Structure formats: structure tokens, C-alpha cells
Amino acid sequence: MRRRIPALLAAIVLGLGLTPGPVHAAPPASVSAGGGIVAPPRFDFATARAAADPETQARIAAIAALLPDNWQAMLADKRERMGLNPSLAQELVADAIDPSLYQCQDTQFTTYTLGLLEGVDLDTLLVLLIFGVLDYAAYDALIYGQPNNEADYGLPASHKSTLKRTFKDAQQFWDVNLFDVKLMAMQNDMLQDPTRVARMVAFIWGLDEDQAAAAAAEIMAIIGSVPALDGGRNPIFTLNAFAFTAEGEADPLLRDVPDKVVFGEGMLTAIGALGLGTAGARAILAHEMAHHVQFEQGLFDSPLTGAEATRRTELMADGFGTYFVTHPRGLNFNGVQIHQAQQTFYEVGDCFFDDPSHHGTPNQRLRASVWGAQIAQQATGIRPILPSMNLFNRFERKLPALIKPDARPEPAGRL
């Protein structure tokens, strides 16, 4: 049976506003984002805001007063244009996925993430959600990040050399051109920099320098008022990874953004805390590079919509990524490392069946990863690398088995 965490915490825990990786619903025609490694569920802002206490209402009003009258629509537009978060108004497919057919459970990742929020009141989290603050580090890295700016976008020293080697190996492994993809991090200290926070506020709402600085100061004051948020350094702000391409984009600001993989420092912290080693981090990077294979080969297209469409592409990236890390001509993981990679994908599964960003249950993501490893281990002789379209065709045939209902029937006579 699946368990639900409170709606607001669910929106925080798995709704960091990052998707393809990560991390997605069908992206806008002009911008495609590879879903974040975790899925952002829908969040009913209007209901949550109406239930907030007077102090929280006042905080929301103070920031809103500094923004244009249509600030909510502008924020939604930026999210949709960058493809990192599905539109909250998106129409859901009514019969996309029946939750009663699937076994789904919280994972260690869920427990760990809830622990990051200990000492953070729900009203503060609501304010951060309403103004999109949980997205700021991702948007900052996406729009302004440069790989040569190590101070602001460099990977943590503990993972830098390993992830850079994995990145180069993935570029050479696949039969599509991935050499234009840039790898960088979103760092936990982004929200401590008034200039970068103001730049992000100005980007979202088109404010002038003084207006943006004032709004940024209000937001940073709210973050600073809660010790558990550590002045913005709490890993919750960067707990994801995603792939991005702006192919076909007309907006000059987005059109010139190169293909990217952005790896959240918070996600690396989580992987370490769960004991998944460097193998877990490398598997996540492999998943995001698999999204770029999908971009190049047009593999996001299918008759599916909503949650079913996203689940398909995310499970495909899990399988492709594990194929790469297992294959002798890829990363050639050993048995322990393969298990850690598979466990990583299991941990970041979600139970948000009715959300257009549903990435697959823990069991489904595990199955997809196991499938990828098995295909890699079937190679004989010189162990050739399958063409990506060959692997894709095999995945399409396997998909019904990966998503086959697995709920245990209730014993007869039980209510």
C-alpha cells in the first residue's frame, strides 16, 4: 500500500520544481528539459495560501507588493518556458494511472528529505513555494551558469574528478553527438548571494535593479529567519539533477543557453547520506546524459500523455543509464556498484500517480534499471555497444512488463 505524506511536505520533498531530470511533463514545443531525478507533484497554491495564518499572509503580501500585478502568471510562464516544471493548470488525463493497481511506498530518500525539513515551519515553506524560491538555484545554473565559473557552478571537490570522467565517458559511449553538453552544479550557497537572488527575481518578474534588490532582501530575510534552512545552504534547495536543451527556442535569453546537465549539490549530499557511494552519483549523471540521447533521437515523442508519457521517458533514462554504467565499454561497474546504481533509482521513485511529472514507482524504476544492466551483461565477444535506437526498440517492447500492476490483492473478507 502507498502512504501519503502531507500535501505541503509532498510538494517540498518531491516537488522542488525541477523536471526532465532532473526530471517532466511534455515540455513546451520550444524548450525541452530532461526531467529531474525526482518528480515535482502538483501543489494547490490557492488552497494552501487561504489556509495560512495572518502572519504568513502578511509576508506573502509584502513580497507580492513589490512585484507586478500578474506576478503569479509571470512565474508560471517562466517555469513552463524553461521546461523545468509542469504548468500547475495542466489538464490531467483522467485515467492515466490507477494507484490501486500498484505497490508504492516511501523510501529512505523520502525519510532523509523529510529530515532536512525538521525545524522548518510549514508557513515558511508555503512562502518559499508561492514565490518559486525552491527553483532559484536551478534557474540560476540553467540561465547563467558557466562551466568555467568554478566558484559559483563548480562540482563539489569530493565528486568533481569522478563525475567529470563519467561525463566524458558518456559523451564517447553513445552514438549521438553529446559533446556540446555542458556539465555544472547548482550549489547550496546560491541563496546567500544578494546579487544572484536579485538577478533571479529580476529575470522572473522583469523588475528594475532597486525593485529586484528589495524583493530579494525580503525573500532572504525569510530564509534567514529559520535556522534549519541554514541561510539557504540547506540541501533541500539543490536536491535534484536535470538535463536541458533549448533547441528551437525563440526567446534570446533561453535560445543561447547551451545543452546542459546540472547536478545539485544537495543530491550529492543525499546520495552520500544514503550510503550509495560514488556509484549512485554516477548513475544519476548517466540518467541525465540518457535524456540528452533522447533529445538527439526524438525519443520523447509518443502517443502517451501526462503521467504515462513522463513515466515512459524517465524509466527509459533509468534503463539507458544503467546500460551505460554496466557495459564493459561504458563504466564497467562491478556487482556492488550495479546494486548501488539500481538502489539509487529505486530510492527516487515516487507515488504521485496523478501528476504529469510522475517518474515511476520505486519498483518500476528498479525494474528499468535491472533491465538495463541485464542488456549490458548479455553482450558477447567484443561486447559491442548497441545503437541507441536498437536499445530504444528493446525498451519499448519491455515497457509493458516494467509498468505491469504489482499491487497485492487484499485478502478475501477484509474491508
Domain locations along the chain: 7-402
Is residue 410 packed enough to be buried (19+ CB in 10 Å), middle (13-18) or exposed (0-12)?
Answer: exposed
To the nearest 10°, report the CA torsion of 178, 392, 14, 66.
50
**CA distance linking residue 13 with residue 10, whole number of Å:** 5
The DSSP bridge pattern shows strands 182-186 and 32-34 to be: unpaired
Report the distance separating Cα 3 and Cα 31, nearest Å: 34
Which position has the grid cell 569522478? 162
pLDDT at residue 289 is higher than 70: yes
Is-contact 289 243, C-beta < 8 A?
Answer: yes
Between vectors from CA 238 to CA 236 and to CA 242, what angle results, nearest 5°?
130
Give the pLDDT confidence of 59-70 residue by residue, as tens digits.
889 999 999 999
Angle between helices 362-377 and 306-326 (to 10 degrees): 40
Count the Cβ atoms, other than its own, within 10 Å of residue 38.
31
Calpha distance 200→178 (Å, rounded) = 28
H or E stretch at 110: helix 108-116
The pLDDT assigned to 20 comes to 35
**Cα distance between residue 354 and residue 373, in whole Å:** 29
Residues 353-363: what's their mean pLDDT? 90
Query: How far, in Å, CA of 171 to CA of 173, rounded?
Result: 6
pLDDT at 140: 96
For residue 3, is it left (φ>0), alpha (ψ between -120 and 50) or beta? Answer: beta
Alpha carbon 213 to chain centroid, angstroms: 28
Q: What is the per-residue pLDDT across 173-229, written as a single tens digit (0 to 9) for each?
A: 999 999 999 999 999 999 999 999 999 999 999 999 999 999 999 999 999 999 999
Q: Is the dihedral of CA 199, 285, 40, 304 positive or negative?
A: positive
Structure pTM?
0.88
What pLDDT sits at residue 6?
Answer: 42
What percentage of the chain carries pLDDT values higher than 90? Answer: 65
- State the DSSP string of 232-246: GTSGGGG--EEEEE-
Q: Where are the alpha helices (DSSP H) in 331-361?
A: 335-347
Alpha carbon separation from 307 to 23, 66, 193, 358 (Å, rounded) = 12, 36, 36, 5
Residue type, 181: V
Amino acid symbol at 379 = A
Flag whether pLDDT at 9 surpasses 70.
no
* Whole-angstrom Cα Rg for the chain: 20
